[in-house]
Amino acid sequence: MNRLLRLFNSQRITTNLIIGLVILAIVILVSLLGPMFVDMELIEVGAVAPSKPPSAEYLLGTDSQGRDMLAVLISAIPQTLKMGLIAGIVGVSIGLLLGLLSGFFGGPLDTVIRVFADSLMTVPGIAILLVIASNIESMTVEVMGLTVAALAWMYPTRTIRSQVLSIRERPYMAVARANGESELEVLFREVMPNLVPYVAASLVASINGAILATVGLESLGLGAQNVHTLGTTIYWARRYSAVLRGQWWWWAPPIIVVSLIFIGLFLVSMGLDRFANPALTGQGSARTRRRKNKAQRNAAQLKAAANHQTGADNQSALLRVDNLQVVFETAAGSGPAVDNVSFSMQPGERMGLVGESGCGKTTMATAILSLVRPPGRIAGGSVQLGDIDLLALRDEELRKMRLKEIALVPQAAMNSLNPVMRISEQLADAIRVHETTLSQPEIETLIRDSLINVGLSPEVANRYPHQLSGGMKQRVSIAIATVLGPQLIIADEPTSALDVVVQQRVMLTLGRVQKELGAAMILIGHDMGLIAQFSDTIGVLYAGKMVERGDIDTVLNEPCHPYTRLLIDSLPKLESESEFIGIPGLPPALFNRPGGCSFHPRCPFAFERCMAETPEPQLVKGRQVACHLYPDLGQLPPIPISSVVVAGDGALPTGIVDKTTTDANTANGNTATGEAQS
């Protein structure tokens, strides 16, 4: 509630909202203050002379029954507003509850609610209201409001359900879960604030519709008894032929007041939409050394690789992933997105994870966090952080581990921050989930320090995501991920969609924070240059399998797996103009993996064994390699240029067909790091 109040209090009030509120305020003030200036006893039949036109004595004249129309109007306004509010609030409350249950939790409940609401919407609502109202013997204002509310929940249900379906799939929902929030906390802290403009719009629309429905029913004589409302006033004017008799002062004022209420509510709805959604306010948006000592890194990684190969228990490893498998099962088929991946990481190690799109990098990261969602499932393996098997934990235990022990810097920070929450609120939510004993001043201090630590001004805490540049948003994501000092950070393409200068700043920030925390880090990306500069080790994924893993310089300078070699050769060259080369074909589809080695249809060295037998990881020159070329070969042979695809028209340049890339391979391997630095 405090967050919503701060949201409303912080926005610039729009013109539409002001005009709408002024109109409604005038109508309400007339009804509230009117009794102080008008004798309300004049609403009784025969209290004044009948059928008098407006005059100084009777400002709105009198009706044919001897009632002062100004007194009647003042008496009728609050009753009509009361019916509209009852119907609108009850209808939207029911719609909000059903829309949340249907959209957020889904399943059979979603089907039942959706079918029921859609079915009722096909029936003319006015016909149902007529049947209900005509069978109620003692109609009151309250009963009339509840009667209309019975049909005022379907549209809010559909509107809110559709928005929840959209919101629940947005990146910041996954980030909230990765930060340890429970489903209920995600619902109330992430989803609900985004629904404010839709709930407000639905409420206004429901009140409008309710007033229209009640006025219509009352005009037919089915309204509340023994009470004046705008609808009953119009009913009596129609019954006594006020239009034919020229008594415009009888029927025109209530119609004008109803119209003013409609206009006021409509303008308030437009204003609230901009008022509750900071992205619509028109405010302009505001538009960080290298890796550790190589000898130490090599010793630690070679030991880890040897321990994995021999099956020894690596007691010093911070993270141990063993035979991790993630399977997706759909009506179109099933297949492993992550296929028996094993590796370990030391405290403070930076591992780059590369591979083509669709090779399972992000899926592996979400599996380590145990955030794989249907139709995917973790089908086997273990993920140990220290002495804790993350996949064996209950949901509540695992939720407490996220962010505090293992954190995610999400892909595309542009969409991973909640657009209707200030940066301070998003950081505070992440902190409160795990540190329930901290006071508000302590939380504010932690927020300020975390922003300063990533190179941002503390004033950024008071801004909304749309007021930040792309690099600032990414650093906010880093601040959220590192605010509680996790042991392991997973950065999923943290510099995607950023220009090269901002990429450098973000990576410098991320590297400095990771080094200060002493945390291990998995850096997922496609930019081999960035991986080369930032990482200590590198893992190459293909079709869900780890085909090569080792020290970054060792792998880049002398790759052993053909896929790794071809990835490196696919990098554009800065020193000279040359044709683009690549890897022939495409990665295999998830549900149609080839037998044997998944890479054999694209591999220039594939032979019969590759097509029938899946290669197992083995230790080759100090790194893990899953390839049948070893141990028979001492190193990867030169790759014929005729086996790769040239970008453009697909034809090979004249004179190149019979050449090999021996010299190019050597040059690429020796200069990969230098090119990346350039």
612-654 pLDDT, tens digit per residue, is 999 999 999 889 999 999 998 888 888 776 656 444 443 333 3
Burial class (CB in 10 A: 0-12, 13-18, 19+), 599: buried
3-class SS of residue 520: strand
What is the distance between the alpha carbons of residues 212 and 525, in angstroms, rounded to a whole number? 57
Report pLDDT for 275.
Answer: 54
pLDDT tens for each residue of 3-59: 444 444 434 456 888 888 899 999 999 888 888 888 888 888 888 888 888 888 888
| DSSP helix, strand, coil percent of the chain (3-state; round to 5) | 55, 10, 35
| Cis ω for the linkage preceding 375 (within 30 of 0) | yes
Q: 367: closest CA among 359, 357, 355, 379?
A: 379
Q: Which pLDDT band holds residue 578 (cuts at 50, 70, 90)?
A: low
Report the DSSP beta bridge partners of residue 597: none
What is the distance between the alpha carbons of residues 128 and 138, in angstroms, rounded to a whole number? 18
pLDDT tens for each residue of 332-382: 788 999 999 999 999 999 999 999 988 999 999 999 999 888 889 999 999
Token pair, residue 307, equals 């321990």
Rg (CA), the chain: 34
3-class SS of residue 533: helix
Is 16-48+57-277 in CATH node 2.40.40.20? no
| Mean pLDDT computed over every residue of the chain | 80
Q: Are strands 537-542 and 350-354 parallel, antiparallel or unpaired?
A: parallel
Residue 575 or 106, more confident: 106
Residue 271 or 607, more confident: 607
Domain boundaries, the chain: 16-48+57-277, 294-569
Report pLDDT for 499.
Answer: 78
Q: Which pLDDT band holds residue 579 (cuts at 50, 70, 90)?
A: low
Question: DSSP of 17-82, one letter per residue?
Answer: HHHHHHHHHHHHHHHHHHHHHS-GGGGSTTSS-SSPPS-SSSTT-B-TTS-BHHHHHHHHHHHHHH
CATH topology of 16-48+57-277 equal to that of 294-569?
no
Which string of b and e fits 328-352 if b means at least 16 CB within 10 Å?
beeeeeebbbbbbbbbbbbebbbbb
Contact of 567 with 583, CB cutoff 8 Å: yes
Report pLDDT for 545.
Answer: 94
Q: Are strands 623-625 and 350-354 parallel, antiparallel or unpaired?
A: unpaired
What backbone torsions phi and psi does residue 352 show, to the nearest 5 degrees? Answer: -85, 140
What is the distance between the alpha carbons of residues 173 and 396, in angstroms, rounded to a whole number? 17
Q: Which pLDDT band holds residue 291 (cuts at 50, 70, 90)?
A: very low
Question: DSSP of 172-214, one letter per residue?
Answer: HHHHHHHTT--HHHIIIIIIHHHHHHHHHHHHHHHHHHHHHHH
Q: Are strands 376-385 and 388-389 parallel, antiparallel or unpaired?
A: antiparallel
Is 294-569 in CATH node 3.40.50.300? yes
What is the distance between the alpha carbons of residues 513 and 163, in angstroms, rounded to a whole number? 36
pLDDT tens for each residue of 166-221: 887 777 787 788 888 888 888 888 888 888 777 877 888 788 888 888 888 887 77
